Amino acid sequence: MAEALTIRTRSGFGLATITARKGVAAGAIGQALGLVAPAGPVWTAAEGVMLLGTGPGVWLAHAETVSPFWGDGLRQRLAGLAAVSDQSGACVVLRLSGAGARIALRRGASIDLDPAAFRPDAVVVTAIAHIGVTFWQVDAVPTYDIAVPRSFIGSFHHWLDVTAAAIRLPVPASGEA
Amino acid sequence: MSRLAEGGLIDRTKPLRFSFDGRHYTGFAGDTLASALIANGIRLVGRSFKYHRPRGILSAGSEEPNALVTLRKGDRAEPDSRATTIELFDGLAATSQNRWPSLDFDMMAVNQIAAPLFVAGFYYKTFMWPAKFWEKLYEPLIRRAAGLGALSTLPDPDSYDREHGFCDLLVIGGGPAGLAAALTAGRAGARVILVDEDRIFGGRLLGERYEVDGVAGVDWTNAAVAELASLANVRLLLRTTVFGIYDGREYGAIERVADHLPQPAPGQPRQRFWKIIARRAILASGAIERPLVFGGNDRPGVMLASAVSTYVNRYAAAPGRRAVVFTASDSGWTTAADLMTADIQVAAVIDSRPDGGVSASRLPHDVETFSGAVVVDAHGAPLRGVDIRAADGRIRRIEADLLAMAGGWTPAIGLGANLGSRPVWSESIQGFLIDVAPPGLQPAGAAAGTFSLGAALADGVAKAVSALADLGFAVSAPGRYEASDEPSGVTPLWHVGGSRTKAFVDFQHDVTDTDIALAAREGFVSIEHLKRYTTLGMATDQGKTSQLNGHALLAAATGKSIAEAGTVLSRPPYGPVAIGAFAGHHRGAGFRPERRTPAHDWAASQGASFIEAGLWKRARWFARPGERDWQETVNREVTTTRGTAGICDVSTLGKIEIEGPDAALLLDRLYINTISTLPVGRVRYGVMLREDGLVMDDGTVTRLAEDRFFLTTTTANAATVMQHIDHARQVIWPELDVQAVSVSEQWASFSVAGPEARRLAQRLLPDFDLANSAFPFMAAVETVWQTLPARLFRVSYSGELAYEIAVRADHGEVLARALHTVGQEFGATLYGIEALGVMRIEKGHPGGGELNGQTTAADLGMGRMMSRKKDFIGQVMAARPGLTAPDRPCLVGLRPVDPRQRLCAGAHLLPGGAAAVAANDQGHVTSAAFSPTLGHSIALALLAHGAERHGERIVVHDPVRGPDIEAEICSPVFVDPEGIRVHG
Amino acid sequence: MRIPCPFCGDRDAREFVYRGDAAPRRPTADDEFHDYVYLRANPAGAMRELWYHAQGCRSWIVVTRDTRTHEIFGAELAKDAAR
């Protein structure tokens, strides 16, 4: 049956890649930023900043609202601990919410999103429609944020719009559990 | 009408109109096209592949070889659709295939007279004849005469979706064994996906009259499905075919989302392609009944006995009025009983087994039975009668319009061989079984050779219990089912013999018993050779009904046992899959993703034409009203840039940040030249080699801080270079403390080039000192534009005084507008990559034509950049004799001696007067352009001994596009060779 | 096919780029470079090979795979792999 799916484009956020220097553990990075830096593909958050584990010793820092020079500030706080590259302009972040959000991502990504297998704090770096994306679950509605490289956003919407239309159809179709 | 008065799983309150070959009929919801045709008394459905023999409906499932039709019309027409799997919908239109002018009267049926042309190996044999005969005579003849349906050739109007499934247990097939397995696993809490290709679950229970636990099989099925549907951990997929098993416990499946509808709803995909990852799987795909091989066994009215039972029991459709049952197994007797129960006359039961008659006691009425007897020939199209040979050898004719044949059951294990394990012969079931199953998969029920209902149910439970135990699930009380079982013995009869007419083995490819005998005589004694030589099992049905009979006949013809002869492997797909389903969203405009720069839409509004560069769309040029052609536009863009100023979007370049205490050391190892000596705030051009010594890419390196660098790569190699750097720092030198990340998407960059570039850039950055003394050529700075972080580089690709300015990508369009607004005051032009290319050729910079994976740094005139004081990737191999040979083609410029002539990339270089043969080839043109600066065509080329030959003349030979042109070899730098402008 | 990325978990093989045998080590002696660049063993059986998780965590990983059956026995980050 038709499943609810809302899609909106987020704005005003900051994104930055943090890569630990050799031998620097997640703990030291987290301490410098005032939260627990995850060691695996999950996220943690404190005071408006999220740290998303995107690789071994690599995180994507995400903040709701930032100044344009947020990246420089991060670099200073992590001096000697990590490399920092501002990516605030690199991605369009879409927020997908509703029961249909899980179906849409499942159709796009070869990732097990069933609540039995998918941690609510999981971070996924993968490909949807041949486009490299990063997504994470925001709440249990479920709501997901998905970061799409800016140059690909038109093609991503081509996939998402067609997929969302099928999910919203008021016709019964098997496989939409 | 042949519809029975009552019974069947059809909804008589929902009549559906449909047409076949233009005639209109009515069926009911729940019918297939095949059952509706039978219920309307239609017996002739198609013509065969080679001989155009009239064919009817053989089976009631996806194994159907005969009843192929073209479903729907126009752009939705789908040829070779199996009438036995098409769900009837209102308005369905189907047409028969491979007949002319009509199904009833087919001119091509004369092929039967020309049968010798079509014997085993006819494709190969006709190739033996003179080639001109083949092309002019036989191929057209065979092409017209033999074939199945025709494609619509129109674009597919439907869309196709993709889905991913993950489960603990995948159950393939929702018959008794599959349902029992799914119930067992579902109750244990495992994540289960149950797949069936039918519109409802039940499998053989739907076509038989057995009971389970004291209730009708259909009722038991309904209760089981209701329970499964109530479990959140179970997903039920109907109308879905698992078509292949792949490495890593991956299963491919096609869900027919809307094929049972007249057409998909707007936005609804027609089909959905599933990739299912299953930790364990149970193959409960059942078994397929075998035909018997006797003369005329392909005639309309000759059907598989199980199909007869299915049409009678499930669809309440009578396939005939007077039936003969020909059986080598007990299941034929079940069909006889089904027919009698439906008040269809059974003229005789012919059991090939000498003791077969004992089963007659199970029939509701008396019937003439023959033990140790066979049907030797069937007559009529549709069927009118059969000749039987009784145990005493006497031939007798029995009138009948329906012959139900039961040759025994073949486990449907095609999927089990997908990963390359050959099935093995089982004496006990007289069939092939899976030997080494794909990892995690077990066959169950009839697919495992467990044919009786009660045993199949128990096997489904047992296999699920074993899979669950592997996964750590506890099963407290596995289900036990009581079934009204009947014996299912078989004594295979692979070949009747003594027939006067053609006896078919492979119905769809018209392979007969004599074809197999001929192939064996001609030496094709391997089962794989037999398959290819006779094409047995190579039609769209992949030999589901024919394979085993054919292999048994070959074994007999070569004096081997079936176990010795073996069987073939089956590859995916198990059934036909639409190409569109594999393509999914990726066709037309969505064929592959497209990348657009931040200022793309604005550039379009400025008149940009775009060209594909890898995945990118790049502005090619910005035509203005009144310009006659692209050449005029590009000439203006070049001339304006060199004379005044030009603005170009260079955001597509790859951009990488490298940080860490060992960043400079890593860069020294990545580039042929030394980077560690680069001062902060300066840019250096660099070249990277592959480890084999050939050039991989070129670009710039900027030192932003002592331990922080910013690299650019070519647009084409951005991903390759990132991968290369990660390989260097993670695999080759993991001891280095260096971090690397792509920032290609973060920065929108624009080049401002030309004599007015400084004044133009100064207007944008009024507080920043752009004077040569403060910001010289190859300087760089992190700065602020408006309120945003910005980066400014004094680099030049055009050879002009130039700056590259970059801001966050989401502000790229704002920057483009600002540059353009200021630029207009100076008379600046926007320019695209065509003008960019002209200017780089004028400057002799290597581009895609020169960075072709076959050139060394020395070939490109950069041999002296290679440092001898440090180790770098490619250094050792670049010193190989082959890569340092003096006669290697190296970069030169070319100008036509006659300036009106045009040089073209790809043309080859020959000494004057030499013949245009490969032995005289001395190089080729890698890039060419019309230079508006010089007023004539120019080119870059790779030429043997090129560096020593400036001033010589050479012939530019282009056999495709034009006459030979005489050109003068010159320096590759055509404009401002002293480099005065860039430093200006 | 699925590749068990040590960081991301099991992933579709299409997210990865294949490089080949993980055994060759970049030599220091010039005369060993030819073998390093061009010569590869072609074992039938278990083989340690390099894959790059290009559309994932961007790690180079060493996957142990049976070249006959495609069975994968495990994977580790290349930078951690025994050297």
What would the mean pLDDT of A18-42 be, rounded to a whole number? 95
Q: What's the pLDDT band for B576 if we cut at 50, 70, 90?
A: very high
Instruction: Please tell me whether residue B481 adopts helix, strand or coil conformation.
Output: coil
Q: What pLDDT score was predicted for residue B151?
A: 87
Angle at B50 between CA B45 and CA B55, to 5 degrees: 20
For B60, B140, B292, B293, B310, the CA distances from B304, given in Å and listed in that order, are 8, 35, 9, 12, 10
Evaluate if residue A1 carries a pLDDT over 60: no
Q: Report how far residue A2's alpha carbon sits from residue B160's, in angstroms, rounded to the nearest whole number.
A: 18
Instruction: Please tell me whether residue B675 adopts helix, strand or coil conformation.
Output: coil
Q: What pLDDT score was predicted for residue C81?
A: 84
A168-173 — which CB contacts under 8 Å span 24+ positions? A168/A2, A168/A3, A168/A5, A168/A100, A168/B267, A169/A2, A169/B265, A169/B267, A169/B268, A170/A1, A170/A2, A171/A1, A171/A2, A171/B265, A171/B268, A172/A1, A173/B257, A173/B268
Q: Report how far residue B852's alpha carbon sits from residue B892's, in angstroms, rounded to the nearest whole number.
A: 16
Q: What pLDDT score was predicted for residue B116?
A: 65
What would the mean pLDDT of B683-710 be, rounded to a whole number? 97
Who contacts B632 (Cβ-Cβ below 8 Å, separation ≥6)?
none
Evaluate if residue A99 carries a pLDDT over 80: yes
Q: What pLDDT score was predicted for residue B359?
A: 66
Lowest model confidence (mean pLDDT) among A98-102, B234-238, B472-476, B725-729: B472-476
Examine the predicted complex and report whether its ipTM is higher than 0.90: yes
In this complex, which of B250, B730, B879 lies closest to C59 when CB atoms are compared? B730
Q: What's the pLDDT band for B55 if we cut at 50, 70, 90?
A: very high
CA torsion through residues B281, B284, B285, B291, sign: positive
Please tell me if residue B87 touches chain A, with a CB cutoff of 8 Å: no
Across the interface, whether the CB atoms of B235 and A159 are under 8 A apart is answered: no
Q: What pLDDT score was predicted for residue B353?
A: 93
B439 → chain C, closest CA residue: C71
In terms of DSSP bridges, do strands B654-659 and B739-742 run parallel, antiparallel, or are they unpaired? antiparallel
% residues pLDDT > 70 (chain B):
96
Query: Of B404, B484, B720, B748, which is closest to residue B601 (Cα–Cα)?
Result: B748
Across the interface, whether the CB atoms of A40 and C77 are under 8 A apart is answered: no
pLDDT in tens, B341-367: 999 999 999 999 998 755 677 788 889
Q: What pLDDT score was predicted for residue B355?
A: 85
Phi, psi of B791 (to 5 degrees): -125, 135
Please tell me if residue A153 touches chain C, with a CB cutoff of 8 Å: no
pLDDT in tens, B785-844: 999 999 999 999 999 999 999 999 999 999 999 999 999 999 999 999 999 999 999 999
Q: What pLDDT score was predicted for residue B875?
A: 96
Query: Of B243, C63, B196, B193, which is closest to residue A112 (Cα–Cα)?
Result: B193
Which B-chain residues 644-703 have CB contacts (< 8 A) with chain A? 657, 659-661
Beta bridge partners of B942: B891, B924
- The torsion defined by the Cα of B555, B556, B561 and B565, in degrees rounded to 10, comes to -10
Q: What pLDDT score was predicted for residue B124?
A: 67
In this complex, which of B235, B269, B659 lies closest to A177 when CB atoms are compared? B235
Q: What's the pLDDT band for B488 if we cut at 50, 70, 90?
A: confident
Which A-chain residues 4-23 have CB contacts (< 8 A) with chain B? 17, 19-23
| Secondary structure (DSSP) of A27-93 | HHHHHHHTS---SSSBEEEETTEEEEEEETTEEEEEESS--TTHHHHHHHHTTTTEEEEE-TTTEEE
Evaluate if residue A60 carries a pLDDT over 80: yes
Across the interface, whether the CB atoms of B726 and C13 are under 8 A apart is answered: no
The DSSP element (H or E) to which B791 belongs, if any, is strand B788-793
pLDDT in tens, B124-167: 666 555 666 666 666 666 655 556 788 889 999 999 999 999 99
pTM for the whole thing? 0.94
Evaluate if residue B96 carries a pLDDT over 80: yes
Give the mutation candidate from A126, A131, A148, A156 for the C interface (greatest C CB count, under 10 A): A126
Q: What pLDDT score was predicted for residue B133?
A: 63
Q: Report how far residue B824's alpha carbon sits from residue B830's, in angstroms, rounded to the nearest whole number.
A: 10
Instruction: Please tell me whether residue B349 adopts helix, strand or coil conformation.
Output: strand
Using a CB–CB cut-off of 8 Å, the residues of B that contact C are 246-250, 275, 277, 419, 439, 691-692, 719, 722-723, 726-727, 730-732, 734, 876-877, 879
Q: What pLDDT score was predicted for residue A174?
A: 44
Cα of B419 to nearest chain C Cα, Å: 8
Is the Cβ–Cβ distance between B473 and B188 less than 8 Å? yes
Please tell me if residue C68 touches chain B, with a CB cutoff of 8 Å: no
Across the interface, whether the CB atoms of B723 and C33 are under 8 A apart is answered: no
Per CB-CB distance under 8 Å, the chain B contacts of C79 are 730-731, 734
Please tell me if residue A173 touches chain C, with a CB cutoff of 8 Å: no
Give the mutation candidate from A85, A88, A169, A176 for the B interface (greatest B CB count, under 10 A): A85
How many residues does the structure list for chain B? 984
Helices then strands, each counted (H, E), chain A: 4, 10
Is the Cβ–Cβ distance between A100 and A167 less than 8 Å? yes
Helix ranges (H only) for B452-586 are 453-471, 513-521, 527-534, 547-557, 562-565, 579-583
% residues pLDDT > 90 (chain B):
87
Cα of B810 to nearest chain A Cα, Å: 5
Q: Report how far residue B549's alpha carbon sits from residue B406's, in angstroms, rounded to the nearest whole number.
A: 13
In this complex, which of B272, B593, B596 lies closest to A129 when CB atoms are compared? B593
| Secondary structure (DSSP) of C1-46 | -EEEETTTEEEEGGG-EEEEES-----SSGGGHHHHHH-----SSE
What would the mean pLDDT of B666-688 be, rounded to a whole number? 98
Q: What's the pLDDT band for A121 if we cut at 50, 70, 90?
A: very high
Please tell me if residue C75 touches chain B, with a CB cutoff of 8 Å: no
Instruction: Please tell me whether residue B954 adopts helix, strand or coil conformation.
Output: strand
Q: Report how far residue B606's alpha carbon sits from residue B668's, in angstroms, rounded to the nearest whole number.
A: 42
The DSSP element (H or E) to which B440 belongs, if any, is none
Q: Report how far residue B874's alpha carbon sits from residue B872's, in angstroms, rounded to the nearest whole number.
A: 6
What would the mean pLDDT of B179-200 be, rounded to a whole number? 98
Between residues A1 and A145, which one has the greater pLDDT?
A: A145
Query: Of B269, B272, B236, which is closest to residue B254 (Cα–Cα)?
Result: B272
Is the Cβ–Cβ distance between B670 and B679 less than 8 Å? no
Beta bridge partners of B353: none
Is the Cβ–Cβ distance between B45 and B56 less than 8 Å? yes
In this complex, which of A19, A86, A174 lies closest to B739 when CB atoms are compared? A19
pLDDT in tens, B400-410: 999 999 999 99
Q: Report how far residue B355's alpha carbon sits from residue B489's, in angstroms, rounded to the nearest whole number.
A: 12
Evaluate if residue B688 carries a pLDDT over 60: yes
Q: What's the pLDDT band for A175 if we cut at 50, 70, 90?
A: very low
- The torsion defined by the Cα of B855, B860, B864 and B866, in degrees rounded to 10, comes to -40
Q: What pLDDT score was predicted for residue B270?
A: 97
Cα of A151 to nearest chain C Cα, Å: 16
Is the Cβ–Cβ distance between A110 and B275 less than 8 Å? yes
Q: What pLDDT score was predicted for residue B145?
A: 58
pLDDT in tens, B304-334: 999 999 999 999 999 999 999 999 999 999 9
The rounded mean pLDDT for chain B is 94
For B605, B715, B748, the CA distances from B600, given in Å and listed in that order, are 9, 16, 11
Q: What pLDDT score was predicted for residue A176?
A: 37
pLDDT in tens, B422-466: 999 999 999 999 999 999 999 999 999 999 999 999 999 999 999
Q: Report how far residue A55's alpha carbon sits from residue C53's, in angstroms, rounded to the nearest whole number.
A: 10
Evaluate if residue B867 carries a pLDDT over 50: yes
Q: Report how far residue C53's alpha carbon sits from residue C11's, in angstroms, rounded to the nearest whole number.
A: 9
The DSSP 8-state label assigned to residue B546 in this structure reads T
What would the mean pLDDT of C1-28 be, rounded to a whole number? 96
Q: What pLDDT score was predicted for residue B135?
A: 63
Phi, psi of B304 (to 5 degrees): -65, 140
Q: Report how far residue B704's alpha carbon sits from residue B709's, in angstroms, rounded to the nearest whole number.
A: 5
Beta bridge partners of C64: C48, C74
